[in-house]
Amino acid sequence: MTDRELVRMALEARAQAYAPYSGFAVGAAILCGNGVVYTGCNIENASYPCGICAERVAASKAISEGRRDFSALAVAGSSAALCTPCGLCRQFLCEFAPRLRVLCANQAGAFEEHMLSELLAAGFDGASMA
C-alpha cells in the first residue's frame, strides 16, 4: 500500500459521506499493521455536535475489528485546500498511535505528510494521569 493508494482510498470514501449541513464531504483511510485499510466518511446530524469526522469513523471501524496498530492515515476533503484533522480527531488518534503518519489531501489528490506528534504537540495521554 503506497501513500498515493491510501490517499486514493480516502478520496473514494467521500462517496459515502453524509454531509447535508456543511456540504463538505470528507473521506479517510487508515492503514493497520497487517496491511488492512479501514475507510470512513464524515456523518453529520441535525443535532450538529452529534456529527462525527471521517477519521474517527475509520479508526473506530478498525478498533472495533481488533486493530489498533495504525501506521498511516490519509484524510481527503472536497476543496483545493489540504484537509487536516480537527483537534478532536488528533486527540482521538493520539490515544492509539502517537507516531502516526498523517497524509492530508485535497480533492485533486495532492497531499502533504505530517506526523501526528507534530499536529498535536504535548497531547494528553494516560501518562498525564500517572
Which sequence positions are flagged as catalytic?
55
The reply on whether position 29 binds ligand THU by CB under 6 A is: no
Rule CB under 6 A: choose which of 32, 83, 119, 120 binds ligand THU.
Answer: 83
H-assigned helices in the chain: 3-13, 54-64, 87-94, 116-119
Closer residue to ligand THU in complex, CB, 32/55: 55
The closest alpha carbon to 74, from 99, 50, 47, 40, belongs to: 40
The secondary structure of residue 121, as a DSSP letter, is T
What is the end-to-end Cα distance of the chain in Å, rounded?
38
Stretch that binds ligand THU, among 3-11, 49-57, 107-115, 117-125 (CB under 6 A): 49-57
- 42 three-state secondary structure: coil
CA torsion sign for 69, 62, 13, 18 is negative
Q: With binding defined as CB under 6 A, does residue 119 bind ligand THU? A: no
Q: Which of 9, 53, 97, 100 binds ligand THU (CB under 6 A)?
A: 53
Stretch that binds ligand THU, among 8-16, 53-61, 111-119, 120-128 (CB under 6 A): 53-61
CB of residue 127 vs ligand THU: minimum separation in angstroms? 26
